[in-house]
Structure 1
Amino acid sequence: MTVVVQEITDREQWNAFLTSQPGGHLLQSYEWGELNKYLGGRIYRLGALEAGRLIGAMMISVAPVPLPVRLPGLQLNWLYSCRGPTVEAPDSPALPALIAEAHTIARREGSVVLRLEPNIADDDPRLEQWQSAYRALGFRIYPYAVHPRRSWVLDIRPPLETLFANFKMTWRQNVRVAGRKGVTVREASSDADFDAYYALLKITSERDDFFIHSKDYHREILRQFATRGDAVLFLAEHEGEALAAKMLIRFGDWCWDMFGATSNHKRNLKAAYLLQYRCIQWAKEQGCTHFDFRAIPEVLEPGEEMWGVYEYKQGFGGYSRLNMPTQDYVYRPLIYRLWSKLVEIRRERRRAERRRVELERAARGRQSGKGQSAVANQTDSSPAPAQGSSPSGKGAQPAEPASSSGVSQ
């Protein structure tokens, strides 16, 4: 049958297809496209239809190439699909059809490159077939991911008690310590609660030196998702003071830990641990099967950027998921090579600086918490606290995480 590619404007049709596919991802959702437009971006939602049935989808964004100088007379853009395209199989006729339409758009937009980061794990049994399919379509591997390749994921289908028992021992102890010391977790329900969330986010971004979008943008995220019951803000408080906050978004069977923040005060109360436990509870209550903690270092070695965040996340159980490499289709080779070289230089400089900062943090952590890392790596069979309860208990404490999300927003 003939495959027809057209722009999709029906939110329900788009999201229904994505959530029916194993590779469907939040960052390809209809709502995420609206957020892109809110920031001034331009997007195309391409759907591949066979006999009227949607069999493939790809949302692509258009952005100018950030060269240090403008080249007179040249309109230089690049096309990007984050965790797209989404098709049923490597040999699906939807894949070449979507790429062909993207080429048409690229010519119209003066694109230097079409960059794809499909939501395919490196342990996918069909990985070689996927890679072969993209090679056959003219793509090459690009070594630097736009969206972090590696994330930390927890399968939350087991009972809550089993999940809690799989936390590292000290993580369980910290959940109980927070409850025993009077930390409570609740859903945000007012403008004042949202202000408290964003204030914590600003504190965390200043402390950990990462970019955050405006308060209005975060409100727009909630407007897009929370009105449909797919997003929630949680606050962890002690005696009326907000100590930690989280924003979660559900899409299909997955829940994403989108943004997290912690106060500089009362860090000994371990509020972030109780908050994280409540987030996992919420995801289970919504019927999700997986909880995505989001980014961890692509290279899992001490000193890498976000190493401390990785250590925090893996204490809750789960596994590392590495996405397949970025795929580039190049239209303007000379400009592409120039841009790639500039990106390489900037990344190496930033990586060296962040590595220095992470090593300094690790050294400070060792000085302030000697003997704790061994405890953090132990496990025991302590039962989980009852769902929605305030656990209590005793134990040695690992360092409080700087930011539980660890994702530049």
Structure 2
Amino acid sequence: MTLSVAPISSAEHLAYIGTQRSVSFLQTPAWGRVKTEWRSESLGWYDGPRLVGAGLVLHRPVPRLERHTLAYLPEGPSIDWTGDLSRWLDPLAAYLKAQGAFAIRLVPPLRTHSWSADQVKAGIADPEVARLTEVPGAVDVLGARVTSRLSAAGWLPQSPEDGFGAGQPQFKYEVPLAGRSEDDVLRGMNQLWRRNIKKAAKAGVEVTAGDDLKAFHDLYVHTAARDHFTPRPLGYFETMFAAMSAEDPERIKLYLAHHSGDLVAATILVRVGAYAWYSYGASATEKRDVRGSNACQWAMIRDSLAAGCDVYDLRGITPTLSADDPHVGLIQFKVGTGGQAVRYVGEWDLPLRPVMYRAFDLYMRRREHLRNKRK
């Protein structure tokens, strides 16, 4: 039967999310209120009168393209990816084109490959291996099939070679939690992680859930200066907490690690159903030896276990395994949790108005070139 696509209310969207084991927090109505520079709408797929799928669309205006937008579905939509994709994506394209979109960008929440912690460590130790994709791993049949079908249907892959771009990371590090206890998770960690968690406890580090976003942001700005990245303003986090907490009081939580009255680390956890994400983190340069960051991570993992989560998501990594690459430290830190590295299907574009899409692509390439020149 043919499916139809139509706008749905935030309440209808949330009700649908409640029927799922989980969806990405980037696909919740609240996320549309966080991204204030974009216009957002919730869409539903209908099989007759029955709502069978949902997605959050962020409409990005582009300079000199007048009212036309890029329609972006980050880590979505939440649909049945196992069947005939044209039943789902063709009505989406028809609806969005009628609304003025010149292209659709979607990020299917599907894996294509995974590598165990031991496989990742073996790759790092092998001087002949430069990238994660050179290490044999497990292939996800559904993700591979969806990748093939998107390509055959004219969708264009957008994920960069290093796995990081302007959108969502294609490579992530995740800790499976389903069916595991705290002791199971601890045993899966490497010796350094277990030792640092114990060291933090022995040093008297106390991790509490709080609401002092100003304290978090001050530490986050300090971290950005030290680690050479551009921090988001305090207002962004205030909007994020207000929007997501209003949608669900358990959606987002701030963790603050103190040692002898000093804030030594702070992190933000987001949860939707059975999935939890480490979203942001900050740490003090002083007192790094008390391991406040490890203490925060362990507190978030424990709370995710207590909430019945299936996965604790440590978010993006680059696929590099070369000792000469400055990004390898990120995967080395995360692999200590004993989880797994995962490759996702990535970002895909469908041009709806090819001339406008080519102009947009040229604009983005020029912007990226200018950004790289400034580095």
Same fold by TM-score, threshold 0.5 exceeded? yes
Instruction: Give the secondary structure class of the aligned counterpart of 1:105.
Output: helix
| TM value normalised by structure 2 | 0.81
Contact 2:3 2:91 (8 Å CA) reproduced: no
Which residue of 52, 56, 59 corresponds with 1:59? 56
1:212–1:284 distance in 2 versus 1, CA, 3 Å: same
Correspondence for 1:138: 154
Bigger Cα displacement from structure 2, 43-52 vs 328-337: 328-337
Please state how far the C-alpha of 1:344 moved relative to its aligned partner: 4.7
**Residues of 2 paired with 1:163 and 1:351: CA distance?**
40
TM-score, scaled to structure 1: 0.75
In the alignment, what sits opposite 2:131? none
In the comparison of the two structures, how many residue pairs are matched? 341
Residue type of the alignment partner of 1:237: H
Structure 2 counterparts to residues 287-302 of structure 1, below 5 A: 287-302=308-323
- Describe the shift of the 1:209–1:107 C-alpha distance in structure 2 as closer, same or farther (beyond 3 A): farther
- Structure 1: segments with no counterpart, 5+ residues: 355-409
CA deviation string 1:130-186 (max 9, x = no partner): 234434543222343521111110012311111112111111111111222221111
CA drift of 1:98 comes to: 4.7
SS at match of 1:113: strand
Q: Take 2:171 and 2:144, find their aligned partners in 1: how far apart are those partners?
A: 19
> Which residue in the other structure is 1:390 paired with?
none
TM alignment of 1:298-309, pairs within 5 A: 298-304=319-325, 306-309=327-330
1:245–1:31 Cα change, 3 Å: same
The question of whether the paired residues in 2 share the 8 Å contact of 1:19 and 1:251 is answered with: no
Question: Are 1:96 and 2:117 an aligned pair?
Answer: no
Matched, 1:165 2:184: no
- Change in CA separation of 1:344 and 1:308 when aligned onto 2, cut-off 3 Å: farther
The equivalent residue for 2:235 is: 216
d(CA) in 1 for partners of 2:80, 2:269: 27
Matches within 5 A, 1:6-405: 6-11=6-11, 13-18=12-17, 20-21=19-20, 24-36=23-35, 39-65=36-62, 70=64, 74-92=66-84, 96-109=87-100, 111-123=101-113, 124-144=140-160, 145=165, 146-157=167-178, 158-189=180-211, 193-227=212-246, 228-304=249-325, 306-337=327-358, 339-341=360-362, 343-344=364-365, 347=368
One-letter identity of the residue aligned with 1:60: V
Cα RMSD of the aligned pairs, angstroms, is 2.7
Q: Structure 2 vs 1, CA of residues 18 and 135 (structure 1 numbering), >3 Å: closer, same or farther?
A: farther
User: CA offset at residue 240 of structure 1?
Assistant: 0.7
Q: 1:141 to 1:243 in 2, by over 3 A?
A: same
**For the structure 1 residues 92 and 24, does the alpha-carbon distance in structure 2 shift closer, same or farther, using more than 3 Å as the test?**
farther
- Flag the structure with larger Rg: 1
Gaps of 5+ in 2: 114-139
What does residue 5 of structure 1 align with? 5
> Is the contact made by 1:58 and 1:84 (CA closer than 8 Å) also made in structure 2?
yes
How many Å separate the matches in 1 of 2:50 and 2:95?
Answer: 23
Matched-pair contact (CA < 8 Å) for 1:58–1:98: no
Deviation at 1:31, TM superposition (A): 1.6
Post-superposition Cα deviations, 1:303-343, rounded to whole Å, max 9, x if no partner, equal 55643222212111100111113221113435534543554
Aligned partners of 2:7 and 2:152: how far apart in 1? 25
Identity of aligned residues (%): 25
Cα gap change, 1:281/1:62 in structure 2, threshold over 3 Å: closer, same or farther?
Answer: same
Cα distance change, pair 338–125 in 1 and its aligned pair in 2 (3 A): same
1:287 match: secondary structure? coil
Q: Which residue of 2 aligns with 1:397?
A: none
Cα distance in structure 2, aligned partners of 1:182 and 1:329 = 53
Give how far 1:77 is off. 2.6
Q: CA 1:3/1:77 → structure 2, altered by over 3 Å: closer, same or farther? A: closer
